[in-house]
Chain A
Amino acid sequence: MWRYLAPLAAFLVLAGFLYVGLGLNPREVPSPLVDKPAPAFELAKLAQPDQTFSRDDMKGKVWMLNVWASWCTACREEHPLLVDIARQGTVPIVGLNYKDKPEAAKQWLAQWGDPYKLSVQDPVGRTGIEYGVYGVPETFVIDKNGVIRFKQIGPITPKVWQEKMLPLIRQLEQA
C-alpha cells in the first residue's frame, strides 16, 4: 500500500524545491572571489591618464569598486544612489571604467555626476576578467586588508544598500 504513496511523496518534495526556487534568481552567478583578496591592478587614471592608481593605494581603508561604462544603460539606474553615497562621504568609491572610451566616459560623468574618488580605465576589460565581471554594473565591497567581502551584480538598489551593503561597511569599519 505504501509504495503507491511514493509518487505523491516525491512530488511534494519537488514542489517544495520549486517554491524555494521562486525566490531565487538562476541567472545570477555569485562570485567565487568573496572572502578572497581583491585581484591586484595598476591602471591609468581616467582624469590623468599619465598617472596610475593601484589596488594597494586603498590599503587600510574600506572601499567600493564600482564597474561602470558610459554605454551602460543600467548604470544610470544606480548612479543617483552612488552620487548620494559620495555626497554623504559614507565610503570611498573607486570607479572601474570598463571597456569604454575616455572622452565618452568623462562626458558621461560630467552629465550625470561624478561620485568617484577617482576612476581608472580598463579599456580591454582585462581587469574586469580578473574580477570575474560578466555584466555592467557590478560593485565590490573591499575591506581594509584588501579582501573582497561582497559583490553586487547589477545596479545597487536602495534596498540592497540599506539592508546588506551599509551594515557590512559599518561592520568592516569597526574591524
Chain B
Amino acid sequence: MKRFLLVLMLAAGPALVAANQAAPTDLDPVANKRAVELSQQLRCLVCQNQTIADSHAELAVDLKNQINEQIRAGRSDREIIDFMVQRYGDFVLYKPPFKAETVLLWVGPVALLVLGMGAYFLQLRRRRTRIDERPLSEAERLEADRLLGLGKTEDSSK
C-alpha cells in the first residue's frame, strides 16, 4: 500500500497537487488537478479569507469531497461551480463574477486609469497655458543678485 501511494505521488509530477483526507488517490492525476483547480476558485465560508483548497475547516473538506464526487459523476467544471453558487450564492466565488452588479468593480480600475490619464494630460496642458514665465526685470535681477550674494540663503519665507 505504501509503495502504491509513493508511486502515485511521484507519478503525479511536480505540478501543484493537493490532496485531502478523502483519499486523493481515488482520482487519477488529471481529475485530481481539476479538483484542486476548482477548489481554488471557491471561498471557504468558515475561514472566510481562504479558499477551500487551503482551508482545513470541516466544511472545506466536505465541499472538497463534494467536488471529487461530482467529478467522478462526470459533471463539468461549469456545472460544479454552478452547483456551489446555487447553494451558497456569489459569495462563495473567490474571484468575483462578472455580472451587472459587479460591472463597476471590474471596470472601475480601468475607468480610474482612464480618468487619471485624462487628468494628467489636462494638467500638462493647463500648466503650459497658465504659467507665465518671463525673464526677470532689472529690479528683480538686482534683488536676486543681492540675495545670492549673501551666501547660503535663509528662506525668504521666514
Contacts and interface: CB of A to CB of B under 8 A. Distances in A.
Please determine if A and B sit in direct contact within the complex, based on CB atoms under 8 angstroms apart.
yes
Contact of A129 (B48, B66, B90): B66
A65 to B, nearest CB: 14
Interface residues of A, number: 17
Nearest to B90: A32
Interface residues of B, number: 16
A130 interface: yes
A32 B46 contact: no
Interface in B59-114: 59, 62-63, 66, 85-92
Interface stretch (A23-31, A79-87, A89-97, A160-168): A23-31
A27 B88 contact: no
A174 B35 CA distance: 47
A130 B62 contact: no
A172 interface: no
A99 B58 CA distance: 10
A134 B88 contact: yes
Interface in A17-76: 27, 29-33
Interface of A: 27, 29-33, 99, 124-126, 128-132, 134-135
